[in-house]
Amino acid sequence: MKVIIASDYDDLVQKAFEIVKGTVTSNPHAVLGLATGQTPIALYRLMVEDHKRCGTSYKKVRTFNLDEYKGLSADNPQSYAYYMRKNLFDRIDIDPNNTYIENGAAEDADSECKRYNIVLSEFARDIQLLGLGSNGHIAFNEPHSPFDGETHVVKLAESTLQDNSYLFGDVRRVPTHAYTMGIKQIMAAKRILILASGQHKADAVRELICGNVTESFPASVLQLHTDCTLIIDEAAGSKILTLPPHEISAI
């Protein structure tokens, strides 16, 4: 795993932006795996600004999102589909038909998972963007999710409900279940770019880099990917910056 330490959040998203822009400009047909949450918001802002100022085009780009709350339709302002349109898709020239995400309002969850597995299998992702859950989740693959899993419905961990409750005002309003891309599918991306910012991610970052590869900390699987870049800011890296190099097993 390659680790890049940025000075702060702005520097982190700038570095991530350069990698994503490089992927799109070197291949106009690039397939991007995208993430939601707080961390990539300013990255998407940079992509929008760059599109407007420099004309970087997404006309032929395809995107696949990681996850969606079960029960929320795409027009619900708290859905990840809505988040993606608001923060990125409505502000660049991407064809909405080329943006894929699980349908949170699907009638039949099994069929929805199968549908997403099929579209995912049709397009190899050039890069997969990831955030890091404070409990080590990637997408909504909570601790003890199988490393060979595909798209499935997951019951969200209590800590995840708490972490994401800021979006819903009250933890009791956070949907208890979600669709998520499986770890096997995340690992199938040619390149992975994982971002973590802030002191509250410092323990998870340390575990990601120094811990054992185990399903009890799903992000640890990334140690096995052949082209994974982790970008952290100094706050998120505060528990690894003092470690002797031999303890940083994954670097």
Percent of the chain that is helix, strand, coil (3-state, to 5): 40, 20, 45
DSSP string covering 28-40, please? TT-EEEE--SSTT
Query: Of 34-73, which residues contact ligand GLP (CB under 6 A)?
Result: 35-39, 66-67
DSSP string, 136-160: S-BTTB-TT--TT--SEEEEPPHHH
- Please tell me whether residue 185 binds ligand GLP under the rule CB under 6 A: no
Least separation in angstroms between CB 176 and ligand GLP? 13
* 135 catalytically annotated: yes
Q: Which residue stretch of 93-101, 102-110, 131-139, 232-240 sits at the interface with ligand GLP (rule: CB under 6 A)?
A: 131-139
CB of 25 to ligand GLP, least distance (A): 25
| For ligand GLP, the closer CB: 39 or 63 | 39
Q: Which of 164, 185, 220, 229 binds ligand GLP (CB under 6 A)?
A: 164
177 assigned to active site: no
Which distant-in-sequence residues (6+ apart) come within 8 Å of 54 by Cβ?
none
CB of 140 to ligand GLP, least distance (A): 5
Among 140, 186, 208, 217, binds ligand GLP (CB under 6 A): 140
Backbone angles phi, psi at 141, to 5 degrees: -80, 100
The answer to whether 12 contacts ligand GLP (rule: CB under 6 A) is no
Nearer to ligand GLP, 58 or 140 (CB): 140
Q: What distance in Å separates the CA atoms of residue 179 and residue 191, rounded to the nearest whole number?
A: 22
Cβ-proximal residues to 101 (8 Å cutoff; 6+ apart), any chain: 64, 65, 68, 74, 80, 81, 84
| Residue with Cβ nearer ligand GLP (121 or 166) | 166
Single out the residue of 33, 104, 131, 237 in contact with ligand GLP (rule: CB under 6 A): 131
3-class state of residue 2 by DSSP: strand
Catalytic residue, chosen from 68, 87, 103, 137, is 137
Give the closest residue to 229 by CA, choosing from 19, 27, 24, 32.
19
Q: Does 145 bind ligand GLP (CB under 6 A)?
A: no
- Answer for which of 139, 189, 209, 228 binds ligand GLP (CB under 6 A) is 139
> What are the distances in angstroms from CA 39 to CA 36, 186, 200, 202?
8, 18, 12, 14
Q: Is-contact 85 73, C-beta < 8 A?
A: no
Q: What angle do CA 195, 201, 202 make, to 5 degrees?
A: 110
- Taking the complex as a whole, the smallest distance from the CB of residue 31 to ligand GLP amounts, in Å, to 18
Residues of this chain that interact with ligand GLP (CB under 6 A) are 35-39, 66-67, 131, 133, 139-140, 160, 164
* Catalytic positions, written as ranges: 67, 135, 137, 142
